[in-house]
């Protein structure tokens, strides 16, 4: 299964939401419904009408928190594979450490997403502008300061270099119309 989306009009956040597996979404709904059942039918409560808003608020808060945690576990289960990290170890950490601390630790320590150089197939960080093995240009950069530029820029936003004068690789020139 490919985790990348070639459609540039899709926002990055939407692609991240697609990482949540269906089993996690279904389980989150089940957990939310079970929490509502627990609070409204199983747990003893007073029949005073004045306590109803508090019971509703508490049940929805707990249901939402537990369902969100299930969605987070589903996301981590896919994200850990995409980043070539130990799935078993990180799922254990996320599940065992209380109150979502495991998920916080995961997000602080997770590895960057790696991609492959189209020229030599070396695994490289997605933020690299050039492949460290074959110098293949992965992204448009300024010819003056070698900082990242957008493919639609005419001048470098850092040094003001005229990007049209650069010797842009043919695969990137198509965006400039040259």
Q: What is the pLDDT of residue 46?
A: 65
Q: HSE on the CB side for 114, CA within 13 Å? A: 13
pLDDT digits over 20-33, tens only?
A: 999 999 999 999 99
DSSP run (H or E) holding 114: strand 114-116
Please give the torsion angle defined by the CA atoms of residues 7, 10, 11 and 16, in that order, rounded to the nearest 10 degrees: -80
pLDDT digits over 86-114, tens only?
A: 999 999 999 998 888 999 999 999 888 88
Across 135-146, average pLDDT: 79
| Alpha-helical segments (H) within the chain | 12-17, 22-37, 52-82, 87-96, 101-109, 170-176
The residue ranking higher by pLDDT, 159 or 28, is 28
For residue 40, the SS3 value is helix
Torsions phi, psi of 9, nearest 5? Answer: -80, -15
pLDDT digits over 55-96, tens only?
A: 889 999 999 999 999 999 999 999 998 888 899 999 999 999
Report whether 63 contacts 31 (CB < 8 A). yes
| Full-model pTM | 0.65
């Amino acid at each position: 299964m490919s985790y990348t989306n070639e459609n540039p009009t899709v926002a990055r956040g939407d692609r991240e939401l697609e990482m949540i597996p269906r089993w996690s979404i279904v389980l989150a709904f089940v957990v939310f419904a079970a929490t509502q059942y627990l609070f409204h039918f199983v747990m003893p409560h007073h029949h005073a009408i004045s306590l109803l808003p508090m019971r509703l608020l508490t049940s929805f808060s707990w249901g939402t928190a537990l369902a969100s945690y299930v969605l987070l576990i589903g996301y981590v289960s896919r994200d850990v594979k995409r980043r070539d990290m130990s799935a078993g170890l990180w799922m254990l950490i996320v599940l065992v450490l209380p109150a979502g601390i495991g998920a916080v630790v995961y997000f602080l320590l997770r590895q960057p997403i790696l991609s492959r150089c189209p020229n030599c197939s070396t695994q490289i960080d997605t933020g690299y502008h050039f492949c460290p093995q074959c110098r293949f240009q992965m992204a448009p950069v300024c010819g003056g300061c070698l900082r990242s530029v957008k493919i639609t820029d005419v001048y470098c936003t850092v040094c003001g270099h005229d990007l049209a004068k650069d010797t842009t690789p043919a695969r990137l020139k198509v965006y400039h119309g040259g």
